[in-house]
Structure 1
């Protein structure tokens, strides 16, 4: 502390000495200060003018006119801004009246097992065992949406399939008896008609232009709760039927996290503009935030064909197939019970050919590895299914396969898919 004080005193003395040495008379100081101030101001003004002359753009940016309004960047977006808090209510108000509840019922007969008819068995149970088939009525509820003001409605095939009676309930409470114009179990699309006019209708969008992340609004009647609205986003597009767990269907589904429950089936999936982009149809049991819808483009195509013909013919080959990989190849070749030996690591392996199927008649065999159809590479089983579905019954498909290391071209004429089952 003593050292610091002594150093400070010494520095103060040196500073005082320096300030007194050569000091000018007191009257000269104001003139000196004024000269220095004028000189500094001149330098500052000159420098500012030089900078402005050399960089006029920067000057204009740095000092905008007081009257100019601040500019905001133009952002183009298809989705409503978060501040638009009422767009969902607007969509529901617009589309809700065109969404209907469908109550379907059918009579089911329960046959008496043969063992109950045995006289020895009846000695013990007597008349407590019925001898005649027992009938019971099974009812179910689904949703649908009106696409024509004269009463045409789209819904799921499983909602009305086999129904004896179909009742259609509008949002305003009116009830009509519906007539099923046609069902297509392969795509799960059905068309119902009611005798009414001047009905509210939905506006149809384009499911081909959908992108993940867009808004998704579902309206339907889940679990008997009419006119229920749920909201989410488009989680994915192009989900194959095998991914969804319904390999017998011929649909590439829209995936959404908007809540879909039993009773939502057949109801519309809407975009932020209130356009129908899909038909809600499926959920995965036990999963949360996973719902699936049939793209509206596909549903409309099927409904048009149902209206024109009452049914839809889907071409099929009659094969069971699996996508090859190095791991699958090794697994098959290690299996002592396998009747196949696989040399390829890429392609679509035909595991089984159905008897008397178009594939069998055309010469395809189990163990063939499909590479191309009509000259186009097929990367997975879904691509094979799409190529077959895009063909016509009775047309010719050129199927390029590898068999025993040799490349072969096999001509196959797809047949109409059996109504009792779906396949490829």
Structure 2
């Protein structure tokens, strides 16, 4: 488990220590541990409890965009997790969630994969990057940061979120994402994400009609397939490349695009400063644009 504590001052005359708990996974044998950013974001002191021992933990780095964080303890020869392949995960397969809900250590629950690639808007960040594995395995407060395992005991995701008041709706970060971000945090203390600066919507005949008949917007699209650009952030890489609201993305690097998740995946996998060739439909005409992703802006804490 991951135990965090901080001081709470009221009126400058009294203090009270608040303690929260979460879970984590041993990422490397030399003491790097991966958990959720929201578990440790406000902590002044972090302790790891492992094998009935308490360790003082160093916060190596955080990435609010994916809700991931890396901690370090001074220990060696730890049993690191066995990684699975989230791409091989099938909807309907059995999974196991492990964690410490309500400080009940080593709690195991089982369920199935309900869906993949979920974007549900629950990460508390200005620029969230979401592509969750959805499961009905019971995930409760304190499970955050714990592993989601397949039937072979391999980690395929990291439990990160539940929707309050909803039963059977838990979400996990795919392990490929967690592995990539963890390596960057260990190496540099921060994670870099490619960024375009667009708001988009997957096109269908109904979505096209909704966009074109919206009296509060001047955005109009010419086709009902692909991904519509609804808005473009000023001074963003998308704006610099000439993308406009109403453009409909048809292909990226010659790959046909039929839903917004594919755009997000290609942008996530792109290098900052690299090149994405976009084929777009603009007012019924095909236009080819080269877009160079920038670095995702860091959200400043006020």
Residues 222, 282 of structure 2: 8 Å contact kept = no
Determine if the alignment matches structure 1 residue 143 to structure 2 residue 43: no
- Name 2:227's counterpart in structure 1: 348
5 Å matches for 1:135-284? Answer: 139-170=19-50, 172-236=51-115, 238-242=116-120, 245-246=122-123, 248-284=127-163
Query: Counterparts of 1:235 and 1:332 in 2: how far apart (Å)?
Result: 30
Q: Deviation at 1:411?
A: 1.7
5 Å matches for 1:400-411? Answer: 400-411=279-290
Secondary structure at the aligned position of 1:352 is classed as: strand
Q: Deviation at 1:385?
A: 0.7
Secondary structure at the aligned position of 1:306 is classed as: helix
Secondary structure at the aligned position of 2:23 is classed as: strand
Residues 241, 249 of structure 1: 8 Å contact kept = no
Structure 1 residues 317 and 212, CA gap change in structure 2 (3 angstroms): same
Secondary structure at the aligned position of 2:160 is classed as: strand
Secondary structure at the aligned position of 2:238 is classed as: helix
5 Å matches for 1:360-379? Answer: 360-379=239-258
Q: Larger % of helix: which?
A: 1
Residues 114-160 of structure 1: CA distance to partner in whole angstroms, max 9, x if unpaired? xxxxxxxxxxxxxxxx6x89987654211012233322211112211
CA RMSD of aligned residues (A): 2.4
- Name 2:267's counterpart in structure 1: 388
Q: Larger % of strand: which?
A: 2
Higher relative contact order (CA 8 A, sep 6+): 2
Secondary structure at the aligned position of 1:176 is classed as: strand
- Name 1:5's counterpart in structure 2: none
Query: Counterparts of 2:85 and 2:290 in 1: how far apart (Å)?
Result: 35
State the TM-score, normalized to the length of structure 2: 0.89
Structure 1 residues 365 and 160, CA gap change in structure 2 (3 angstroms): same
Residues 174-201 of structure 1: CA distance to partner in whole angstroms, max 9, x if unpaired? 1111011111122222211111233343
Residues 256-303 of structure 1: CA distance to partner in whole angstroms, max 9, x if unpaired? 221001110001112223222221111122221121111222211211
Residues 221, 282 of structure 2: 8 Å contact kept = no
Structure 1 residues 109 and 335, CA gap change in structure 2 (3 angstroms): farther
- Name 1:48's counterpart in structure 2: none
Structure 1 residues 357 and 133, CA gap change in structure 2 (3 angstroms): farther
Structure 1 residues 356 and 270, CA gap change in structure 2 (3 angstroms): same
Query: Counterparts of 2:219 and 2:171 in 1: how far apart (Å)?
Result: 36
Secondary structure at the aligned position of 1:203 is classed as: coil
Q: Deviation at 1:382?
A: 0.8
Secondary structure at the aligned position of 2:24 is classed as: strand
Q: Deviation at 1:167?
A: 0.8
Q: Deviation at 1:234?
A: 2.6
For structure 2, list consecutive stretches of 5 or more residues without a partner in the other structure: none
Q: Deviation at 1:215?
A: 2.5
Query: Counterparts of 1:257 and 1:286 in 2: how far apart (Å)?
Result: 14
How many residue pairs get matched?
298
For structure 1, list consecutive stretches of 5 or more residues without a partner in the other structure: 1-100, 111-129
Structure 1 residues 153 and 335, CA gap change in structure 2 (3 angstroms): closer
Query: Counterparts of 1:191 and 1:233 in 2: how far apart (Å)?
Result: 28
Query: Counterparts of 1:311 and 1:157 in 2: how far apart (Å)?
Result: 12
Residues 118, 133 of structure 2: 8 Å contact kept = no
Query: Counterparts of 2:211 and 2:28 in 1: how far apart (Å)?
Result: 53
Structure 1 residues 194 and 371, CA gap change in structure 2 (3 angstroms): same
Query: Counterparts of 2:8 and 2:249 in 1: how far apart (Å)?
Result: 44
Query: Counterparts of 1:368 and 1:279 in 2: how far apart (Å)?
Result: 36
